[in-house]
Amino acid sequence: MSEFEGPSERPAAGPNRRSSSSTPSSLPAWARWVGRALLWLMGGALAGVLTVLLLIGIALSVAYPNLPQVSGLVDYRPKLPMRIYSADGVMLGEYGEERRNFTPLAQVPKVMQDAVLAIEDARFYQHGGVDYKGVLRAGLAQFNESRSQGASTITMQVARNFYLSTEKTFTRKIYEILLALKIESLLSKDQILEIYMNQIFLGQRAHGFAAASEIYFGKPLKDITIAEAAMLAGLPKAPSAYNPIVNPRRATQRQLYIIDRMLENGFITPEQHDAARAQQLKYRAAPEVVVHAEYVAEAARQMIFSQYGEEAYTRGLNVYLTIQSAEQTVAYRSLRKGIMDYERRQVYRGPEAYIDLPANVKDLDARIAEALVEHPDNDELRAAVVIEASPRKVVAVLQSGEALTVTGEGLKPATSGLAEKGNPKTQIRAGAVIRLVKLPKGDWSITQLPEVEGAFVSLDPRTGAVRTMVGGFDHAKSKFNHVTQAWRQPGSSFKPFIYSASLEKGFTPATVVNDAPLFFDAGTTGSQPWEPKNYDGTFDGPMSIRRGLAKSKNMISIRILQAIGPAYAQDWITRFGFDPDKHPAYLTMALGAGSVTPLQMASAYGVFANGGYRINPFLISKITDARGHVLNEAVPQVMDESTRTLPARNAFVMDSLLQEVTRSGTAANAQRTLKRPDVYGKTGTTNDSNDAWFAGFQRSVVGVVWIGYDNPRKLGDRETGGGLSLPVWIDYMQQTLKGVPVEEPSAPEGVVNMGGEWYYEEYTHGSGVSSLGLEEKLPTPPSEEEKKGILDLFKR
Cα 90–Cα 638–Cα 634 angle in degrees, nearest 5:
35
Query: Which of 14-18, 312-316, 449-453 shows the lowest per-residue confidence on average (mean pLDDT)?
Result: 14-18
Mean pLDDT across 292-312: 94
Task: Cite the beta strand spans of 709-773 per DSSP E.
Answer: 751-754, 757-760, 771-772
Q: Residue 112 in contact with residue 211, Cβ under 8 Å? A: no
Q: How far is CA 723 from CA 193, 293, 467, 716, 726, in A?
A: 63, 26, 24, 11, 6
Q: Are 722 and 666 in contact (CB under 8 A)?
A: yes
pLDDT for residue 659 is more than 80? yes
* Residue 781 confidence (pLDDT): 54
Phi, psi of 396, deg, nearest 5: -135, 150
Torsion angles phi and psi, residue 719, rounded to 5:
-90, 125
- Among 308-312, 762-766, 779-783, where is mean pLDDT lowest? 779-783
Distance CA 783, CA 562 (A): 33
pLDDT digits (tens, 9 = 90+) for 175-203: 788 888 888 888 899 999 999 999 888 88
Residue 44 has pLDDT above 80, yes or no: no
Residue-wise pLDDT tens digits, 554-573 = 999 999 999 999 999 999 99
Strand pairing partners for 351? none
Per the DSSP assignment, residues forming a β-bridge with 705 are: 456, 694
Q: Which of 319, 323, 431 is nearest to 375 (CA)?
A: 431
Active site positions, annotated: 120, 492
Average pLDDT on 320-330 reads 97
Task: State yes or no: pLDDT of 168 exceeds 70.
Answer: no
Helices (H), 144-269: 154-163, 170-186, 189-199, 209-212, 226-233, 248-264
Give the whole-angstrom CA distance, residue 411 versus residue 427: 13
Structure confidence by residue, pLDDT tens digits, 204-227: 878 899 989 998 998 999 999 999
Per-residue pLDDT for 281 more than 60?
Answer: yes
318-321 and 620-624 as β-strands: parallel, antiparallel, unpaired? antiparallel
pLDDT value of position 105: 93
Average pLDDT of the chain is 86
pLDDT of residue 594: 96
CA–CA distance from 470 to each of 86, 453, 458 (Å)?
14, 11, 9
What 3-state class would DSSP assign to 378? strand
pLDDT in tens, 611-649: 999 999 999 999 999 889 999 999 999 999 999 999 999
pLDDT at 247: 80
CA dist list (Å): 553 to 53, 175, 594, 685, 726? 99, 83, 18, 12, 18
Sort 717 into a burial class: Cβ within 10 Å, 0-12 / 13-18 / 19+.
exposed
